[in-house]
Amino acid sequence: MNFLENIRTVIMQLFGIDPVTTQTEANILTQQGARYRDPTGYNMTAIFAGKLSTLTVTESTIEVTGGNARAELLSSIVQPLWRSSRKWVSTAFGTGGVILLPYVTGGKIFIDTVPQSSMLINRVNGDELRAVSIIADTTVVDDKRYFRYTDYSLDGTTLIIRQRATNAAGSPVRMSTIPAWAEIPDEFAISGADRLPLAFLKCPVDSRHTKDYYGAPITFGCDDKIAEITECFEDIRREYKLKKPIVGMDSTLFDVKNGRRNLPVTGLFMPTMPRGLDNSGKLWEVYDPDIRESAYYSRLQHLYEELEKQVGTSRGILTEPSSHGATATEIKAANYDTYAIIDTMRTAIAGAMDDLVDALDILINAYNLAPMGEHEISIDWSYSMIESSQESFNQLISGVGVGAIEPAEVRMFIYADETIDEARAACAQIASGKTSLADQLLRDAMIRDSREPVTLEEPEPAEE
């Protein structure tokens, strides 16, 4: 039995608690997590999770603003986490949920991302988590694996955080045994808290339970269809493996010396009766049946389409994307089902990031890492999968023309990694030079579209 299979027993012994999560639920969560992490075979859950996470967060940015030390500290923590967002969003899609778990060590805040299979819920109040135990981290020291367990309990406005460590067998060890965990306190109490200091991002799939404490993987309920696809792959593999051409040769053509055939022993040649393979009297004949690839791959494509429909996505995850026109309306119509899942997940991510910033505030206040200060978190999502870039660019140019938006917003569309302040500074520098802003934006658009910039005539110098 591995550490995840007996997680409930270990946590009960470490913290003396009886989790709300049953052993059956814990086993299901473990199986779902193991299925997503399985590196062998054709992992459909990982394929869907990876594709959807890419579409969800690629080209999207996050900002924490406020113009004070608190906002700067929060931004320095959130930005690195966002750069790895494709990985933990994929984990949420693939396992059903992921926990963003901040902790303090050495006067700095770090964030662990752990799948929901590593968390047991101990107490709830409605939909709010009031007490949980989590396998927060794992590491190897001197070829021995250790696990760090964190227990969070909120009693009124007092938050109690307890840390414990075990070896691979689940036996307790001192936290100081592991150098990376030596400075993490075994127990810590924080007053004035109104929530647990963590964020729980769940996959937007109905788990079909009355109490929706945990999320469900993106391929939840699709096991039979995935099994059919796996079986079809095995059929295709067997078809290619069994297809071996044979040259049937009349036995009189075999020159036998010293009781052995005078031909390569490769399985290619086969002696036949004097009348040949088909009694036609031919001295030799090639037997080379066609591979039934058309039938097999037609069925495979059909199964792919059925699985996409069952998961709820548009074409393009396993199958080729539907052909569509270039207008934003046509693009959105062709990808709407997939976009609906992505939009729901983005809403969940936005909520999780708000929860994370609240959790970080609790720890920053508790450890006095930065003074209080107003701050705001915002996410700029990419809509490239449902928009025509040319239409969007034309709309921005029109907006500048009528004074509805500022030129800096057009530059941010071209250079997605620039902030609004950087874009404004660049536009001001351009406006003060010889090249007009419109000409520079046109050059930028050419570069963005990977085309050679057009040659623009420099304006005549102004007369003194």
Q: Is the pLDDT of residue 131 over 80?
A: yes
Question: Average pLDDT in the 149-169 region?
Answer: 93
For residue 287, how far is the Cα from the chain centroid?
Answer: 49
Q: Are 14 and 134 in contact (CB under 8 A)?
A: no
Share of the chain above pLDDT 70, in %: 78
Q: In terms of Cα–Cα distance, which of 162, 217, 263, 266 is closest to 43?
A: 217
pLDDT digits (tens, 9 = 90+) for 49-65: 999 999 999 989 999 99
Residue 370 class from Cβ within 10 Å (0-12 exposed, 13-18 middle, 19+ buried)?
Answer: middle
Region 14-33 average pLDDT: 90
Q: How far apart are CA 332 and CA 462, in angstroms?
A: 48
Closest residue by Cα to residue 33 from 101, 98, 122: 98
Q: How confident is the model at residue 451 (pLDDT cuts 50, 70, 90)?
A: very low
Of 332, 338, 333, 334, give the one whose Cα is nearest residue 311. 338
Q: Summarize the confidence of residues 97-102 as an average pLDDT.
A: 95
Q: Which residues pair with 60 in a beta bridge?
A: none
DSSP H helical segments within 177-264, as ranges? Answer: 223-242
Pairing of strands 61-65, 376-380: antiparallel
Give me the amino acid identity at 220.
F
What average pLDDT does this structure show over 258-273? 56
Q: How confident is the model at residue 398 (pLDDT cuts 50, 70, 90)?
A: confident
**What single letter denotes the amino acid at residue 237?**
R
Name the H helices within 58-108: 69-83, 85-95
> Where do the domains of the chain lie?
7-217, 224-326, 388-464
Helices (H), 368-404: 389-401
How confident is the prediction for the chain on average, in pLDDT?
Answer: 83
- What are the residues facing 152 on neighbouring strands? 132, 161
pLDDT at 323 over 80: no
Q: What are phi and psi of 460, to 5 degrees?
A: -65, 140
Please, which pLDDT band fits residue 2 given cuts at 50, 70 and 90? very low
Q: What pLDDT, on the 0 to 100 scale, is given for residue 394?
A: 77
Q: In the prediction, which pLDDT does 353 show? A: 97
Give φ, ψ of 52 to 5 degrees.
-70, -35
Query: What band does 296 get if pLDDT is binned at 50, 70 and 90?
Result: confident
Cα–Cα distances in angstroms (integers) from residue 277 to residues 281, 288, 348, in the given order: 8, 13, 67
Mean pLDDT of 362-388: 88
Per-state percent for the chain, helix, strand, coil, to nearest 5: 45, 20, 35
pLDDT tops 50 at residue 452: no
String of DSSP letters for 24-75 = HHHHHHHHHHHHHH--SS--HHHHHHHHHHHHHHTT-EEEEE-SSHHHHHHH
Q: Which of 97-106, 113-122, 414-423 has the lowest mean pLDDT?
A: 414-423
**Are 181 and 175 within 8 A, CB to CB?**
yes
